[in-house]
Amino acid sequence: MTLKLLCRRTITLQRAVVSAGPDGSQVQVWSNLASSVPASIFKLRARRQPEAFRASVAVDTVIMTPVDTGARLDDRIFDGHGYYRVQWVMNLGDRDQAWGIYAAWLDPQGGQ
């Protein structure tokens, strides 16, 4: 079975770009790199995480997709409801057709 059949949502990958603001100061703007990417989003429960996770990285969400989006550290994922900060990406080894994006939910009040 292909991962694509399990993906019932779509995500947009965004990367921060620094540009000049109206007053000449530097402003961080989010640019869309990939959109309408099929994905499945899984929330991790608050319990001891597997050894595969790095202890120093807060991860509460795994986003699985059949597409290599090119996501990297500190990119942002938007799923139509909220934002996630990318912590790391892993090729899950299914002939380069399964990718895991490990991310942290961004609080809408304190997020970027």
> Is 87 among the domain residues?
yes
The per-residue pLDDT for range 17-32, each reduced to its tens digit, is 998 888 989 999 999 9
Q: How confident is the model at residue 10 (pLDDT cuts 50, 70, 90)?
A: very high
CATH of the domain at 66: 2.40.10.270
- Output phi, psi for 5, to 5 deg: -70, -25
Q: Between the CA of residue 54 and those of 11, 38, 42, 93, 98, what are the distances in Å?
A: 24, 26, 18, 19, 20
Helix (H, G, I), strand (E, B) or coil at 5: helix
**pLDDT at res. 104:** 93
Domain extent at residue 78: 3-105
Q: Say how far apart CA 75 and CA 59 lie, in whole Å.
A: 14
Q: Domain tally for the chain?
A: 1
Q: In the chain, what's the furthest Cα-to-Cα distance?
A: 53
- H runs (alpha helix) in 24-101: none
**pLDDT at res. 20:** 87
Average pLDDT over residues 58-86: 93
